[in-house]
Amino acid sequence: MTQELLDQALVEEATKKSGLIWVRGAVTPALPGPAQEGPTQALWHVWHDGAACVVGDGPGEQPLPGLVDGGFAVVTVRSKDKGGRLVSWSAAVVELAENTPAWEAAVGELKGKRLNAHDGEAMPERWARECRVLRLEPTGGTAELPEGSLAERPLPTPATTRLPIPAALPRLLMKRRKRR
C-alpha cells in the first residue's frame, strides 16, 4: 500500500512539473493477438484533477496518434532539470465530451498553458469544433524505465524548416559587432 502511494505521488509531481510528456498509445484488440501500438509522441499537457489532459488532432494543434477513447497509453515523464527519463506510467485514455463540466474544466486549464494560439479567446470554441480533449488517467503503479536510448526517426509532418540564411547575413552581422 505504501509503495502504491509513493508511486502515485511520484507520477503526479513529476507530471505536474514537466511541460512535456512522451506518450505511446496502445489499443487492446477485441480478438486475441498483439496489441496495436501507435508511435511515441511528445505532447504538451496540463495536470488537472488527477490526470494529464491533452488537446490535439485539429488544425494547428499537436497530433494524437494511437490515442483512442477507451484505449491505453504508456506515459514517460522527463525531468524538468536534466531532461532525462524520470518515471513511466500506464494510463487509461478518456475522451471528454465537448461542453460538459469535465471538458470545460480541462479546457480552462489547457487554455492557460497554450502558447502562441492564433485565435486567443476563441480557442475553446475551435477546440470544441475541430479537436479532441483527452484525459490520460493513471491506472496505478510505475513501469521500469528501459535501458539505453529510445531515439526514433521523427514522424512525417507537413511542417517545414525555415529557408537557409542569405549569404550576406554573416557579413552584415560581423559589421555590427565591429562598430560597437
Domains, the chain, in order of start with CATH, read 2-154 (2.30.110.10)
Give the per-residue pLDDT at 34: 46
pLDDT digits (tens, 9 = 90+) for 117-130: 788 888 999 999 99
Amino acid identity at 160: T
Q: Which of 67, 78, 66, 74 is nearest to 91 (CA)?
A: 74
CB 23 within 8 A of CB 75: yes
CB 51 within 8 A of CB 135: yes
Model pTM? 0.77
Give the per-residue pLDDT at 93: 95
Sign of CA dihedral 92, 97, 100, 104: positive
Confidence label for 66 from pLDDT (cuts 50, 70 and 90): confident
pLDDT over threshold 50, residue 36: yes
User: And the C-alpha cell for 38?
Assistant: 501507435
CB 9 within 8 A of CB 36: no
pLDDT over threshold 70, residue 31: no
The phi, psi pair for 69, rounded to 5°, reads -60, 130
Q: Which residues of 127-144 are buried (b: 16+ CB within 10 A; e: fewer)?
A: beeebbbbbbbbeeebee
Q: Which of 95, 110, 103 is nearest to 47 (CA)?
A: 110
